[in-house]
Amino acid sequence: MKVVVIGALGKVAQLLVPLLADGGSGPAVEVVGAVRKSEQLDRVADLGGEPLLLDVEHATTDEIAAALDGADAVVWTAGAGGGSPERTYAVDRDAAIRSMDAAAQAGVRRYVMVSFVGAVPDHGVPEDSSFFPYAEAKLAADDHLRGTALDWTILGPGTLTDGPPTGRIRVLGPDERLERGGPSEVPRADVAQVAAAVLRIPETVGEFVRFTTGDEPIPAALRDLS
């Protein structure tokens, strides 16, 4: 399996790339790590991935499709990382959508989107909040993905932490909302494990997997989706 990880130096992706490359999540796969700056290429190689220079914010659909040629799966972990609303929409919505269209154009059927637990129409983020553009951008990108013919999975982790991996999660029900002040966190290391696992678990295709830290082993929790 050849997997292209877009945004390979994000905090989740830096855990995902070596996890895939060294077979820690199962049989080793060929991992291509896409980054937007040439000075980042060596860091991808250090993680065990094949570096790919691809500025998805400015690349056309055709350019992204060319970069994805020969891949079996795409994992989107890129993001604007805050800043201006304009750039948030440009990366988290527009570039993400182009990458989905590019995957379809290149014949890459499997697509995994790393989103967030609140990417729902009634996300409740006030319009005057600095987080509003991100919530809206992710929702729009996720909705576009749902409308494609790709074998998609959307991951909706709760509040991300840098804690050690637990290997266990709790999957939220379709209409379940996290209670304010309740348990909502999940380590990025577990998000990486979930992203790696869904590539091999067909029950996750067509699912929006919203999750926090929990008690069920990750593979079992994902297989229980069917």
Q: Which residues are catalytic?
A: 134
The answer to whether the CB of 33 falls within 8 A of the CB of 55 is no
The answer to whether the CB of 47 falls within 8 A of the CB of 14 is yes
Longest Cα–Cα distance of the chain, Å, equals 46
Q: Is 33 left (phi over 0), alpha (psi -120 to 50) or beta?
A: beta
159 Cβ contact list (under 8 Å, min separation 6): 184, 185, 186
Q: How far apart are CA 79 and CA 141, in angstroms?
A: 12
Q: Tell me the residue type at 109.
A: R
Residue with the two structure tokens 């691809």? 54
- Angle (CA) 91 110 136, round 5°: 30
